[in-house]
């Protein structure tokens, strides 16, 4: 990074990359990203090695908000079962937004079709962490098979998110009975 880069350029590029990639897909051009951010291409390449790195950084930037919005706070006094259902209630709320196109961390991996891409790696880690949350709660709640239950929950999360993103269905009236059935079958408290 050199002193030529204006303050805020990095933040504006991250914001433009996150917003435009989600709206238009990962093939959005560098010109469009720079234009939206009001940053020259020269400055962009001073800040990020490549568009791939910018995309990965923009996903990384969204991670903490994503986690804070979806997950319950630690030790909130609720049962593991309620804490899991909280995540799905949050997804239901998110999916109701008119510009919802599915979980960005799933969509980017589907679009990139390359698990070694730096942005795929970020996205993969975020979803692995969500799966780990499900598994930890499943263990606390005495699930008969916490590993299987966690896999089922992230499957339902991604399936509901993808289908809501393409406007094929909505999680309302679907996700709660589905998750409840899986929690019951696992004897979750």
Q: Which of 25, 31, 42, 67 binds its own copies (CB under 8 A)?
A: 25
Taking CB under 8 A as the binding criterion, the range among 8-16, 68-76, 81-89, 107-115 that sits at the site for its own copies is: 107-115
Q: For residues 39 and 108, which CB has a smaller minimum distance to its own copies in the complex? A: 108
Site residues for its own copies, window 29-88 (CB under 8 A)?
Answer: none
| Phi, psi dihedral angles at 38 (to 5 degrees) | 65, 40
Closest approach of its own copies to the CB of residue 19, in Å: 13
CA–CA dist 60, 110 (Å, integer): 17
Closest approach of its own copies to the CB of residue 83, in Å: 21
Strand residue runs (E) in 7-64: none
Closest approach of its own copies to the CB of residue 88, in Å: 12
CA–CA dist 170, 134 (Å, integer): 22
- 22 and 62 Cβ atoms separated by less than 8 Å: no
CA–CA dist 136, 108 (Å, integer): 26
Is 169 a residue that touches its own copies (CB under 8 A)?
Answer: yes
Q: For residues 67 and 110, which CB has a smaller minimum distance to its own copies in the complex? A: 110
Q: Which of 15, 82, 111, 139 binds its own copies (CB under 8 A)?
A: 111
Residues in the chain, how many?
189
Q: Which of 124, 129, 139, 140 binds its own copies (CB under 8 A)?
A: 124
Burial of 94 (0-12, 13-18, 19+ CB in 10 A): middle
Is 159 a residue that touches its own copies (CB under 8 A)?
Answer: yes
> Where do contacts with its own copies occur on this chain (CB under 8 A)?
23-25, 27, 101-102, 106-107, 109-111, 113, 115, 120, 124, 127-128, 148, 151-152, 154-160, 162-163, 165-169, 173-174, 177-178, 181-182, 184-185
């Amino acid at each position: 990074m050199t002193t030529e880069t204006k303050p805020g350029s990095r933040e504006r590029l991250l914001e433009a990359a996150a917003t435009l990639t989600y709206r238009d897909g990962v093939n959005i051009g560098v010109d469009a990203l720079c234009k939206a951010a009001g940053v020259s291409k020269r400055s962009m390449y001073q800040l990020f090695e490549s568009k791939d790195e910018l995309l990965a950084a923009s996903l990384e930037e969204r991670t903490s908000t994503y986690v804070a919005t979806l997950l319950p706070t630690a030790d909130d006094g609720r049962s593991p079962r309620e804490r899991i259902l909280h995540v799905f209630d949050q997804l239901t709320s998110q999916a109701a937004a008119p510009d919802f196109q599915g979980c960005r961390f799933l969509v980017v991996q589907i679009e990139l079709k390359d698990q070694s891409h730096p942005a795929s790696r970020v996205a993969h880690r975020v979803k692995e962490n969500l799966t780990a949350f499900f598994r930890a709660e499943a263990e606390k709640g005495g699930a008969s098979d916490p590993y299987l239950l966690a896999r089922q929950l992230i499957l339902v999360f991604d399936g509901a998110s993808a289908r809501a993103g393409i406007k094929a269905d909505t999680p309302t009236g679907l996700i709660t009975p589905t998750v409840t059935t899986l929690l019951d079958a696992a004897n979750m408290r």
